[in-house]
Amino acid sequence: MKRLALAAAVALLASPALADRLEAVCQGSELVNSGSATICAARAEYRFRSDGPEVEFFLTLRAPETHCSDVVYTAWYPGENWSRGFTRQLRPGESDNVVIGRGYGPGEAVVHISAIGIVGGCNTGVMQSWAVDVSASPVP
């Protein structure tokens, strides 16, 4: 727990300019959780540099201030049907850290990001698109 708290502190000190903006257009969305959330069918691909499979990574995921409703982001390893982790519910402008583990080969690594939109604000139960500011760092 102490390591994740340190990772959170490091992420808070990081400049927003270090993050990449990912955007996805939903080809469809599904109303879930008794109508309180929508899942977008589209995932975005994030590429980062890994030093090797023994290095554990975390993502800092930030909901852009332009979002008009809350969101939960999920991180996926390509080809897997189970998530590596997910954020808490984020309001526009908020961020959260998600540990995505080890096993990324040396060089360029890939993780997929998906979004669950919380019904409210502009989300009336159909999600059109989403965005996220994301960066990856080794867990200290």
| Burial group, residue 8, by CB count within 10 angstroms (0-12, 13-18, 19+) | middle
pTM: 0.84
Nearest to 129 by CA among 61, 67, 62: 67
Q: What is the pLDDT of residues 116-129, one digit of tens each?
A: 999 998 898 999 99
Kindly list the distances between the CA atom of residue 4 and the CA atoms of 27, 57, 123, 138, in Å, as whole numbers in the listed order. 35, 11, 32, 11
Q: What's the CATH number for 2-138?
A: 2.60.120
From CA 76, how far away is CA 114, in angstroms rounded? 8
Q: How far apart are CA 139 and CA 101, in angstroms?
A: 9
The SS3 call for residue 126 is coil
Query: pLDDT band at residue 10, thresholds of 50, 70 and 90?
Result: very low
Q: Where are the domains of the chain?
A: 2-138
- 33 band by pLDDT with thresholds 50, 70 and 90: confident
Amino acid at 94: E
pLDDT tens-place string over residues 50-90: 999 999 999 999 999 999 999 999 999 888 888 899 999 99
Half-sphere exposure of 1 (CA within 13 A, CB side): 0
Inform me whether the pLDDT recorded for 2 exceeds 70. Answer: no
Confidence of residue 3 (pLDDT cuts 50, 70, 90): very low
pLDDT tens, position by position, 96-105 = 999 999 999 9
pLDDT at 38: 93
Model confidence band, residue 29 (pLDDT cutoffs 50, 70, 90): confident
CA quadruple 124, 83, 28, 61: dihedral, nearest 10 = 60
